[in-house]
Structure 1
Amino acid sequence: MRALVVYCHPDPQSFTAAVRALVEEKLSAAGAETRTLDLYARGFSPALAQQEWQRYLEGAHEGVAEDVAALRWCDTLIFVYPTWWYGLPAMLKGWLDRVLLPDVAFLMPDETHRNIRPGLRHIARLGVFTTGGASRLLTFFVGAPGKRTLLRGLGQLCAPRRRTAFAMHYGMDSSTAESRMRHLTRVSREMDRLIGPLPRTAEARA
């Protein structure tokens, strides 16, 4: 297993950091090769610059070559981040904008294909672990855009029979030590399921 953890939080002492530590601990125990991209620690720039935009269709990797290489290397992709305004933090959204490039994450339409085609079929496991201040009901009323972007939007570019895992601590602003411990227990269960043996057909695709 080759796991890429994309971590996005500005505070290394946050509860999200504890979730990341648990995710990495589970991967290590499973014998996975693991790479972590800590976006804030690296000072990642989320803005898509004019020059990058102008060369977007060329799949230019300037400034994100390490990230592109890691994305191509992994067969397991895990995101750990806080949900802000029901969606992805600007830093993480910018990572998607700059790294999930044509000919990396997807193939552009052409004369014989009207729609984009998946470029991440080697990724057989996709995990999303997040926290949010809103309640579960309000988050789903709004549409849970962060979850949809990663599990549905990005997920469609991955292996057809990918295994997915999701855990969110809702109501973080009123969380307790007990609720946070329950969430870590859920993350642990989801990780055990995510990194368990894949069906042979999925392993062959990965």
Structure 2
Amino acid sequence: MRALVVYCHPRADSFTAAVRDTVLRRIEAAGGAHRLIDLYAEGFDPVLSPDEHAGYETAGNATPVAEHVAALRWCDTLIFVYPTWWYGQPAMLKGWLDRVLLPGVAFLMPDETHADIRPGLTRVTRLGVFTTCGASWWLTRLIGAPGRRTILRGVRLLCARRCRTAFAAHYLMDSAPRDSLARHLDRVAAKVDRLARPLSRRQEQP
């Protein structure tokens, strides 16, 4: 298991940081390797520049984010840890998706024999999302949970055909008691443990 953990939160003392630490500990306990991308800590620029947009479909499109693309190509497990803001990913994480999940990296563009895009992350056999939400579960569902759909549907379609997924969210964060937060960390740990279990032969095949 080679896990790339993409973490996005501006504060070191956040509960999301505790979720991140739980994820990393459980990966290590399972004997897996991991790399952490801390977007705020490195000052990642989420803005797709005019030059990047102009070269979006060219062979050198990954040059501005080469280290992130290399980490993405290294992993077989992709995990996102972030707070849900306005029902979706923080702007910095959305910008990471825009700039790093590129044609030729995350997907293949349509061509003469293919009318639609094709998966490019077929080496990724595990995909996880661990998030926190200020809104309630029912309100998030009413809106449609666009952040969850972006990754567990959109990114998932670019991964291996039988990609294993995991999701855990803590809702109503602003009024959450300590025991609820502690239970959620236990839930995150259990989800990561299940995600890290050995894959079947069918799941290992792209």
TM-score interval (norm. to shorter): over 0.9
- Tell me, yes or no, if structure 1 residue 112 matches structure 2 residue 113: yes
Cα deviation, residue 63, structure 1: 2.3
1:29 and 1:135 mapped to 2: Cα distance? Answer: 32
Are the counterparts in 1 of residues 27 and 193 from structure 2 also a CA contact under 8 Å?
Answer: no
Report the AA paired with residue 119 of structure 2.
P
The residue number in structure 2 matching 1:28 is 28
Q: What CA deviation, in whole Å up to 9, does each residue of 1:2-23 have, x standing for no partner?
A: 1100000000110000000000
- Tell me, yes or no, if structure 1 residue 182 matches structure 2 residue 179: no
The residue number in structure 1 matching 2:128 is 127
Q: What CA deviation, in whole Å up to 9, does each residue of 1:109-159 have, x standing for no partner?
A: 011111000000100000000001000000000000000000000000001
2:188 and 2:34 mapped to 1: Cα distance? Answer: 18
The residue number in structure 1 matching 2:101 is 100
Report the AA paired with residue 69 of structure 1.
A
The residue number in structure 1 matching 2:198 is 197
Cα RMSD over matched residues? 0.8
Alignment of 1:1-206 (within 5 A): 1-59=1-59, 60-205=61-206
Say which SS state the counterpart of residue 130 (structure 2) adopts.
strand
1:63 and 1:173 mapped to 2: Cα distance? Answer: 37
1:133 and 1:193 mapped to 2: Cα distance? Answer: 26
Say which SS state the counterpart of residue 22 (structure 2) adopts.
helix
The runs of 5 or more residues in structure 1 that have no matched partner are none
2:184 and 2:146 mapped to 1: Cα distance? Answer: 21
Cα deviation, residue 185, structure 1: 1.1
Moved over 4 A (4+): none
Cα deviation, residue 182, structure 1: 1.2
1:169 and 1:71 mapped to 2: Cα distance? Answer: 27
Cα deviation, residue 203, structure 1: 2.2
Report the AA paired with residue 42 of structure 2.
R
Say which SS state the counterpart of residue 64 (structure 1) adopts.
helix
1:95 and 1:30 mapped to 2: Cα distance? Answer: 27
Say which SS state the counterpart of residue 164 (structure 1) adopts.
strand
Say which SS state the counterpart of residue 168 (structure 2) adopts.
strand
The runs of 5 or more residues in structure 2 that have no matched partner are none
1:204 and 1:93 mapped to 2: Cα distance? Answer: 29
Cα deviation, residue 200, structure 1: 1.5
Report the AA paired with residue 31 of structure 2.
G
Identity of aligned residues (%): 64
1:121 and 1:19 mapped to 2: Cα distance? Answer: 27
2:132 and 2:85 mapped to 1: Cα distance? Answer: 9
2:168 and 2:202 mapped to 1: Cα distance? Answer: 26
Q: How many pairs are equivalent?
A: 205
Are the counterparts in 1 of residues 160 and 205 from structure 2 also a CA contact under 8 Å?
Answer: no
Output the TM-score relative to the length of structure 1: 0.98
Are the counterparts in 1 of residues 16 and 131 from structure 2 also a CA contact under 8 Å?
Answer: yes
Cα deviation, residue 30, structure 1: 1.1
